[in-house]
Structure 1
Amino acid sequence: MQLPEQPVAGQPDPTTRAEVRKLAHAVETALTAELATFHRDTTPLPVVGSAPPVEQPGRPSMSSKAVDRNVTILTSSFLTLAAGGAVSAVLWSSGHANETVIAWICGGIVAVPVALTLPVLALKGLMKSAKGVAEAAPQPVTNHFHGTVHHDERTVTSTTRGVIANTRNHH
């Protein structure tokens, strides 16, 4: 829309209109411009020698297994706290709160998951250790010979004694 350049009674003068047009153009440019809101540097980090990373001072890093167990412990303790708090709140609000009943209920909320979880974890550990033993066991050696073979099963016993070593092998 074109605005008239001639001053009209009660209207701003042309210089003010020009400033308003500049401001409107700057706002329009800013709204239509695609400005980057983030920058990701994808250049690889320089390799300095062949040494492995060095553990930094402070709290040591945890393995992924330790992190998983930590998360499990934290979530289960939060759920136990929430369930015990909800039961206690219901009993207290109903007017039937008895500290013995609340203790048994909270104990049950803690004991039942633990009683169900411990055998499962023990069985899981047993299965893992059995798998580790099976993988660590030496593979049986099977030799296939073709032709005449002589297999010597003698045992040699060796003793070394004296200031000047003298070894005698006995068949």
Structure 2
Amino acid sequence: MNDHREHGRELTTQEEFESIRLLAEGYSDTTPVATRYKDVVPAPTQPTVGNALPFAQHGRPPMSQKATDHATLVIVYTWGSLPVGGAISLVLWQLSSVSPMQLTFAGLGAAGVFIAIGAAARMIGRAFRDGASALPDHTVNQYTGTVYVQHTELHTNTRGLGRTNNQITDGQQ
């Protein structure tokens, strides 16, 4: 039998007995197959071959896949924010020579555009809902035997900027 003990430390009596027992158990036909094994020998702190000390390798440190993905996203978002920050800096540099009144009108104009787009989107959505509610319901039910049908409707009215009124009825108006 080839003995490779010169590459590592000497085994204690207990560790040697355990390794012999495991080998005998592995070659036995009557022993059930082990599904789990815990190595009782501690990992060496030094390399098993040679006397060089371990040192950190170049590149990213070893991490889990999730941590590596997160670090990559942080790097991408950091580089992605540079053009946006540069554009804002250029706009602010150009606006440094503008009067405060012109800045106020420019800010209100931009907010007005967003408000107009939001109002148009709400009106278009309301028009679609009203058009869909004007269509008749097409329901076909086929039953055999005694059937009890309970019909409940939910009516929602929204007024202003979020004032909502929900009314549940039994289908009789």
**Alignment TM class, shorter chain as reference:** under 0.3
With structure 1 as the length reference, what TM-score do the two structures score?
0.24
Q: Relative CO higher for 1 or 2, CA cutoff 8 Å, sep ≥ 6?
A: 2
